[in-house]
Amino acid sequence: MKNLRQEFIAFSVEAGVLSFGEFITKAGRTSPYFFNAGLFNEGANLGRLAQFYAQTLLDSGVEFDMLFGPAYKGITLASATAVALAGMGRNVPFAYNRKEAKDHGEGGTIVGAKLAGKVVIIDDVISAGTSVRESVDLIRAAGATPGAVLIALDRMERSGKDDALTVNSAVQELSAQYQMPVICIASLADLFDYLSASKAEESGSKMGQYTAAVSAYRAKYGV
């Protein structure tokens, strides 16, 4: 499992999805790294990403009947993960939502399979957790059960701007609020291990130079 996590970090760096520098987060913090799943925008790397999602979900041992992708990024992620799972011998239905209800044709806000059983919500990262909360409401309204959330990267940092009053991350808060696991392919801890290994190897990799900045950010905002 740890090898899978390190492979995912390396893959994200190579694809340019995980980049380093100075970035402003939704919480208004200056982060030394940024993860943009929208840059998995080619068939080959999207297929590889889906393999990581599918394998992580299977390895988690979580019971599930179908997948749900919140609009918009989750739509591609859930559908691609369903394809990857089918290739691994686990054929499951998937669905996603529209931002606006359709008043013709099949109508409604849900597209794809009928929401039923235990549903895994597929997303990229969790910042404020808004899309997950909306997904939980949609799934419950349909009579199904939100069983877990599966994300690509857990930033493992305190939620909100008021660090003095916040001790949990958005991931921890969501997990506690809905009493369901939030599974990640990799986390900030895995990113730090990757950078530390790169610095130690000194094999032409420039990744190690970001270790100090990520470590300082982790110490200041991490959970």
Global confidence as pTM: 0.90
Q: Provide the mean pLDDT of the chain.
A: 89
Give the tens place of pLDDT for each residue, 170-219. Answer: 899 999 999 999 999 999 999 999 998 875 555 445 677 889 999 999 99
Predicted local distance difference test score (pLDDT) of residue 208: 73
Task: Tell me: pLDDT of 156 over 50.
Answer: yes
Q: Of residues 33 and 158, which shows the higher confidence score? A: 33
Predicted local distance difference test score (pLDDT) of residue 199: 59
Domains of the chain as residue ranges with CATH? 2-221 (3.40.50.2020)
Among residues 2, 26, 99, 104, which one is catalytic?
A: 104
Q: Of residues 151 and 166, which shows the higher confidence score? A: 151
Predicted local distance difference test score (pLDDT) of residue 154: 95
HEC secondary structure over the chain? CHHHHHHHHHHHHHCCCEEEEEEECCCCCEEEEEECHHHCCCHHHHHHHHHHHHHHHHHHCCCCCEEEECCCHHHHHHHHHHHHHHHCCCCCCEEEEEEEEECCCCCEEEEECCCCCEEEEECCCCCCCHHHHHHHHHHHHCCCEEEEEEEEEECCEECCCCCCCCCCEHHHHHHHHHCCCEEEEEEHHHHHHHHHHHHHHCCCCCHHHHHHHHHHHHHHHEC
User: Which band of pLDDT confidence, cut at 50, 70 and 90, is reported for residue 12?
Assistant: very high
Give the tens place of pLDDT for each residue, 83-115. Answer: 999 999 999 999 999 877 655 445 578 999 999
Active site residue 102: yes
From 45-49, 117-121, 144-148, 194-198, the region with the lowest mean pLDDT:
194-198
Task: Tell me: pLDDT of 27 over 80.
Answer: no
Predicted local distance difference test score (pLDDT) of residue 165: 57
Task: Tell me: pLDDT of 76 over 50.
Answer: yes
Among residues 102, 114, 161, 220, which one is catalytic?
A: 102
